[in-house]
Every structure is written in C-alpha cells, then in structure tokens.
C-alpha cells in the first residue's frame, strides 16, 4: 500500500508509526508535527526524518509558528494545502492521521 501519515504532534511516542510498513510511506508534518522538520533536540534531528525519503511539511503551519520554510531540514519538502491535496489523490492511496 501507499500510505501517507499525517504527524500532528511533536512530543508523543510513535509506536504505531514505527511498526507500520508500506510499499511507499509518506510522512506529512502538520500542526505541531512541523517541529520534527524544523527543530533539533540536543543537536539531534527527529528520528522520524530517517523513516522514509518521502517527507513533507505544511508551509502554513511552519509560518504560523514563527519559522520559515528555510528552517526546514533539507530532507523535507515544504508543501502548501494545494500540494497536500495532490499528494492525497496522486501519490498515496491510504491516509492516516496519528
């Protein structure tokens, strides 16, 4: 399956996400989930950034929190709502909000 997972929190455990397998896995950072894409903890980037090559972060939610698209880890593609719609319909066939 091609699964896009919306990550909307920063400091939570991701037991389920750690175990999920997909032929194509995408992680879309939204809401407080965008901190995974922008913020290092004790100098370390979020381990979620190693989970897949298909990483996205919602620009509106980055800017809402006072950060810039330029603050985003290079592995993460910054997207807007219109892009998210295209990801949903064109790149993935199932969605999960965790």
Question: Which residues contribute to the site for another protein (CB under 8 A)?
Answer: 1, 3, 6, 8, 13, 15-16, 19-21, 30-31, 60, 80-82, 84-86, 88-89, 93-98
Q: Which is nearer to another protein, 45 or 96 (CB)?
A: 96
Instruction: Please compute Rg for the chain using Cα positions.
Output: 12
CB of 68 to another protein, least distance (A): 19
Please give the Cα distance from 43 to 18 (Å, whole number): 22
Q: Which is nearer to another protein, 40 or 60 (CB)?
A: 60
44-54 residues labelled b (16+ CB within 10 A) or e (exposed) = ebbebbebeeb
DSSP 72: S
Cβ atoms within 10 Å of 15's Cβ, excluding its own = 9
CB of 17 to another protein, least distance (A): 10
Q: Which is nearer to another protein, 19 or 74 (CB)?
A: 19
């Amino acid at each position: 399956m091609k699964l896009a997972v919306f990550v909307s929190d920063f400091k939570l455990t991701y037991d389920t996400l750690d175990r999920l397998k997909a032929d194509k896995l995408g992680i879309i950072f939204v809401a407080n989930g965008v901190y995974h894409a922008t913020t290092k903890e004790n100098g370390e980037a979020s381990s979620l950034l190693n989970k897949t090559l298909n990483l996205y972060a919602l620009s509106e939610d980055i800017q809402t929190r006072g950060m810039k698209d330029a603050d985003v880890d290079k592995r993460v593609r910054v997207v807007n709502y219109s892009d998210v719609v295209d990801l949903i319909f064109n790149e993935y066939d199932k969605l999960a909000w965790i």
